[in-house]
């Protein structure tokens, strides 16, 4: 049914090439897969700190309302059981003490002064907000309990109720300072939260946003409320030994439960679906499966998929509700267009690829700033050790065989001769008898013919057989003694030709991707990029050297940035270096567009 619905939205022209349209989705999805795998070990942010997830969790909290129906407590209407305090508490210790109840620490307190059908609705209900049902079930509620405390006594025993000052409790929310007056003889009872979980867990009306009501009978037992606990950390405990011979009584309580966001649930047309044809035994299971299902239609591909629990199909993040899914996808996956719609049968998202992103990532000045590129800079941990500033030489690229390289080699020879002269002078001044090998840190001579002219060295060379490293052919003795060795020299033209032939063998790679591979291979071969630590410098130098060519071809630029992302995914490139490369390209683009600098 989902596939038929998605196919019906496509025109006849769009159904001709679904495979070609599907291939266009691959590059953005590949990028999102890199980011998702990277975020598993190094998440950019915590999911629980997102505002829409916090609000979604708050709407799933359960609102509990406790009231006393007068029709079910006719025998108690003539008795003075008010004011009645309702406390939401948990036990601080499970160690039983003879004659005492566990010590409870309460966090919320409400006041009841009348029955709910007496006409005084201001204080006829006590409302609490507790965690969502999944949290209560997972944590087993840790002994959460509703405690009811009454200072009233029966009239037939010759006693009247002791009313607290109502000025201290002008609202449903009780001032904790007024609870200190509760110390003394009282009646108390409790409603364990586990009793509510058993009924709410199997109820489908709560998931659909309806109110679930359940009557509960509570035994109000006599006790003595210890005053010492009320003065410290909102704690209370009841002692049965200090209570008089009072008779306990039964109190009928009505407990109503509903989700805090029930109004928003009922407003959605998706939740107005009728479950009249569903058998009662399967109702709860079907409702749970249906609530978080979202249908994703990928236009022009004749494909669709369904996710559960409002899950993103790209990064598998649970977004809490349909509004949270909209916030997540528009902010985290902006390479697609989205159309969110809700009907009685579907919660659906139509996904369309932004083809403008495949052309170029540079936008004109008149375009809205919300579509411009932003650069991410990660926060590196500051090292405690002080690092001395080192002057970094500017990156300079030399073509092999150029006059600059010849001049640099001659300068190196002059520098080596000067260093050797300094070493000899230092030996004369300080009277050192150390050999020259100890000063290799200062200079290294490339002239080996002088050492080889020694008769002893010549004899050793004659005893050994040398072969060419590339051709694996034996060398003559004259070739061994000769200073001219072209074995390791590489012809750049031949190397480029072999590299192109190797890349042409790839079938599933586009022409522009082969071109960027060839440019990178040629660059690192000429610049002798050998170690992983050379990669950041190489990327910056590559951006400067080929910046004009990259800006002229948007597909080539896209391939270069995808290659940098792959280097970043393998921890060979940092986010700071990627930002530097992008800024270099921006500077080149600005220089081209500025007529004054030209």
Specify whether 117 is located in the same domain as 251.
yes
Q: Give yes or no for a contact between 104 and 145, defined as CB atoms under 8 angstroms apart.
A: yes
pLDDT of residue 3: 41
CA-CA distances (angstroms) from residue 58 to 259, 260, 409?
9, 7, 71
Same domain, 81 and 168: yes
Q: Give the rounded distance of the alpha carbon of 72 from its chain centre.
A: 52
Residues 446-494 have pLDDT tens digits of 444 444 456 777 787 888 888 877 667 888 888 877 766 666 666 677 7
Q: Residues 16-62: pLDDT tens digits?
A: 477 777 788 888 888 888 888 888 888 877 787 888 888 888 888 88
- Rounded distance, CA 255 to CA 559, Å? 63
Q: How far apart are CA 543 and CA 549, in angstroms?
A: 10
Output 389 or 575, whichever has higher pLDDT.
Answer: 575
- DSSP tag of 87: E
Domain span at residue 298?
2-54+272-358
Residue 520 pLDDT:
92
Where does the pLDDT of residue 579 fall: very low under 50, low under 70, confident under 90, or very high at 90 and above? very high
Q: Which one is predicted more confidently, 140 or 483?
A: 483
Same domain flag for 237 and 311: no
pLDDT at position 19 is: 75
Q: Which residues pair with 342 in a beta bridge?
A: 347
pLDDT at 143: 79
Distances from the Cα of 513 to the Cα of 175, 354, 358, angstroms:
71, 21, 14
Please report whether residue 47 resides in a domain. Answer: yes
* Confidence band, pLDDT 50/70/90 cuts, at residue 543: very high
Average pLDDT of the residues in 123-144: 78
Residue recorded with tokens 């001709």: 16
Q: What is the pLDDT, as a whole number, of residue 373?
A: 61
Does some domain include residue 98? yes
Do residue 90 and residue 238 come from a single domain?
yes
80 lies in the same domain as 193 = yes
Q: Please answer whether residues 254 and 215 qualify as being in contact, where contact means their C-beta atoms are separated by less than 8 angstroms.
A: yes
CB burial class (10 A; 0-12, 13-18, 19+) of residue 353?
Answer: buried
104 and 39 belong to one structural domain: no
Sequence-separated (6 or more) residues with CB below 8 Å from residue 44: none
Range picked from 31-40, 78-87, 286-295, 322-331 for highest mean pLDDT: 322-331
Residue where a domain terminates, one of 315, 332, 358: 358
Span 577-585, mean pLDDT? 93
Residue 177 has pLDDT above 80, yes or no: no
pLDDT classification of 422: cutoffs 50, 70, 90: very low
Higher pLDDT, residue 50 or 154: 50
List of long-range contacts for 309-316, beta carbons under 8 Å, 24+ apart: 314/29, 314/32, 314/36, 315/32, 315/35, 315/36, 315/39, 316/36
Query: Do both 23 and 152 map to the same domain?
Result: no
The percent of residues in the chain predicted with pLDDT above 70, rounded, is: 70
- Report the distance separating Cα 248 and Cα 84, nearest Å: 15
Cα angle at 109 between 105 and 112, to 5 degrees?
140
CB atoms within 10 A of CB 129: 12
Q: How far apart are CA 260 and CA 132, in angstroms?
A: 9
Q: What is the mean pLDDT of residues 303-321?
A: 90
Q: Do 111 and 75 belong to one domain? A: yes
Q: What is the mean pLDDT of residues 510-519?
A: 88
Both structure tokens of 102: 């566990």
Phi-psi domain of 161 (left: phi exceeds 0; alpha: psi -120 through 50; beta: other):
beta
Q: Which of 378-387, 397-406, 444-453 has the lowest mean pLDDT?
A: 444-453
Looking at the domain assignment, is residue 237 inside a domain? yes
Task: Output the pLDDT for position 490.
Answer: 64
Same domain, 44 and 70: no
What is the layout of strands, in order, in the sheet containing 303-307? 303-307, 294-298, 347-353, 336-342
Look at residue 541 in the predicted model and tell me its pLDDT: 93
Q: What are the angstrom distances between the C-alpha of 405 and each of 282, 397, 398, 399? A: 81, 10, 7, 8
23 CA to centre of own chain: 27
CA distances from 573 to 366, 501, 526, 550 (A): 33, 28, 20, 20
Residue 455 lies in a domain: no
- Mean pLDDT lowest among 62-66, 183-187, 254-258, 460-464: 460-464
Domain end: 316, 340, 358, which one? 358
Q: Is residue 372 assigned to a domain? A: no
Q: Which residue has the higher pLDDT, 15 or 20?
A: 20
Asked if residue 321 and residue 249 are part of one domain, the reply reads no
Tokens in use for 453?
Answer: 């002219």
Least confident of 22-36, 268-282, 299-313, 339-353: 268-282
pLDDT recorded at residue 485: 60
Answer whether residue 426 is part of any domain. no
Q: Higher model confidence: residue 478 or residue 15?
A: 478
- What is the distance between the alpha carbons of residues 124 and 67, in angstroms, rounded to a whole number? 6
Q: Report residue 434's pLDDT band, with 50, 70 and 90 as the boundaries.
A: very low
Domain count, the chain: 3
What's the CA gap between 324 and 326, in Å, rounded? 5
Quick one: pLDDT at residue 103? 87
Q: Is the pLDDT of residue 325 over 70?
A: yes
Domain membership of residue 460 (yes or no) is no
Q: What is the pLDDT of residue 10?
A: 42
**pLDDT tens digit sequence for 257-279:** 988 887 777 678 887 777 778 88
Burial 537-575 (b: 16+ CB within 10 A, else e): ebbbbbbbebbeebbeeebbbbbbbebbbebbeeebbbe
Residue 420 has pLDDT above 60, yes or no: no
Residue 579 to residue 249: CA distance in whole angstroms: 74
Among 227, 260, 293, give the residue marking a domain's end: 260
Lowest average pLDDT, out of 18-32, 380-394, 568-582, goes to 380-394
Of 376 and 100, which is predicted with more confidence? 100
Residue 571 has pLDDT above 70, yes or no: yes
In whole angstroms, give the CA distance from residue 598 to residue 575. Answer: 31
Whether residue 172 sits in one domain with residue 101: yes
Confidence of residue 78 (pLDDT cuts 50, 70, 90): low
Q: What is the mean pLDDT of the chain?
A: 75
The helix/strand/coil state of 125 is strand
Whether the CB-CB separation of 308 and 285 falls below 8 Å is answered with no
The more confident residue out of 253 and 480 is 253
* First CA to last CA distance, the chain: 62
Residue 598 to residue 439: CA distance in whole angstroms: 50
**Weakest mean pLDDT among 216-225, 487-496, 554-563:** 487-496
- Is 235 part of a structural domain of the chain? yes
Residue 104 host element (H or E):
strand 104-112
Kindly state whether residues 224 and 336 are assigned to the same domain.
no
């Amino acid at each position: 049914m989902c596939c038929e619905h998605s196919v019906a939205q496509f025109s006849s022209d769009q159904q001709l090439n679904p495979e070609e349209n599907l291939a266009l989705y691959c590059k953005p999805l590949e990028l999102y897969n890199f980011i998702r795998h990277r975020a598993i070990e190094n998440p950019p942010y915590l999911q629980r700190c997102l505002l829409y997830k916090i609000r979604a969790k708050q709407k799933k909290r359960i609102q509990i309302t406790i009231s006393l129906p007068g029709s079910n407590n006719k025998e108690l209407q003539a008795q003075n059981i008010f004011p009645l305090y309702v406390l939401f508490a948990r036990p601080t210790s499970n160690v039983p003490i003879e004659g005492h109840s566990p010590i409870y620490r309460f966090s919320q307190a409400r006041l009841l002064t009348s029955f709910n059908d007496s006409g005084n609705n201001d204080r006829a209900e006590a409302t609490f907000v507790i965690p969502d049902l999944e949290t209560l079930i997972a944590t087993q509620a840790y002994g959460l309990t509703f405690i009811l405390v009454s200072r009233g006594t029966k009239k037939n025993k010759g006693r009247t109720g002791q009313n607290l000052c109502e000025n201290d409790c002008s609202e449903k929310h009780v001032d904790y300072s007024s609870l200190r007056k509760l110390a003394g003889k009282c009646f108390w009872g409790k409603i364990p939260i586990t009793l509510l979980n058993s009924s709410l867990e199997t109820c489908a009306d709560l998931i659909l946003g309806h109110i679930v009501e359940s009557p509960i009978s509570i035994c109000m037992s006599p006790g003595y409320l210890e005053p010492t606990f009320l003065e410290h950390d909102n704690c209370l405990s009841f002692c049965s030994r200090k209570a008089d011979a009072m008779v306990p009584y039964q109190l009928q309580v009505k407990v109503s439960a509903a989700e805090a966001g029930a109004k928003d649930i009922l407003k959605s047309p998706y939740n107005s679906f009728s479950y009249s044809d569903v058998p009662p035994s399967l109702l709860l299971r079907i409702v749970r499966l249906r609530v978080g299902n979202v249908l994703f239609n990928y236009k022009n591909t004749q494909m669709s998929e369904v996710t559960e629990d409002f899950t993103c199909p790209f990064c598998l993040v649970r977004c809490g509700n349909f509004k949270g899914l909209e916030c997540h996808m528009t902010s985290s996956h902006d390479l697609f267009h989205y159309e969110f719609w809700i009907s009685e049968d579907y919660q659906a998202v139509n996904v369309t690829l932004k083809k403008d992103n495949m052309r170029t990532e540079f936008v004109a000045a008149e375009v809205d700033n919300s579509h411009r590129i932003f650069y991410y800079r990660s926060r590196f941990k500051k090292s405690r050790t002080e690092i001395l500033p080192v002057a970094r030489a500017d990156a300079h690229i030399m073509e092999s065989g150029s006059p600059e390289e010849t001049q640099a080699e001659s300068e190196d020879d002059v520098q080596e001769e000067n260093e050797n002269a300094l070493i000899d002078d230092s030996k004369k001044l300080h009277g050192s008898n150390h050999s020259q090998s100890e000063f290799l840190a200062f200079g290294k001579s490339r002239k080996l013919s002088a050492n080889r002219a020694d008769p002893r060295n010549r004899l050793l060379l004659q005893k050994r057989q040398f072969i060419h490293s590339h051709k694996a052919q034996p060398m003559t003795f004259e070739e061994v003694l000769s200073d001219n060795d072209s074995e390791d020299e590489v012809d750049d033209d031949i190397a480029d030709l072999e590299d192109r032939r190797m890349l042409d063998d790839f079938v599933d790679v586009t022409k522009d991707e082969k071109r960027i591979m060839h440019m990178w291979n040629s660059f690192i071969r000429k610049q002798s990029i050998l170690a992983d630590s050379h990669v950041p410098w190489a990327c910056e130098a590559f951006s400067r050297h080929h910046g004009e060519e990259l800006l002229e071809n948007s597909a080539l630029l896209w391939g270069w940035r995808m290659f940098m992302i792959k280097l970043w995914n393998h921890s060979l490139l940092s986010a700071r270096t990627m930002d530097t490369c992008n800024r270099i390209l921006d500077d080149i683009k600005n220089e081209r567009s500025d007529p004054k600098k030209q």
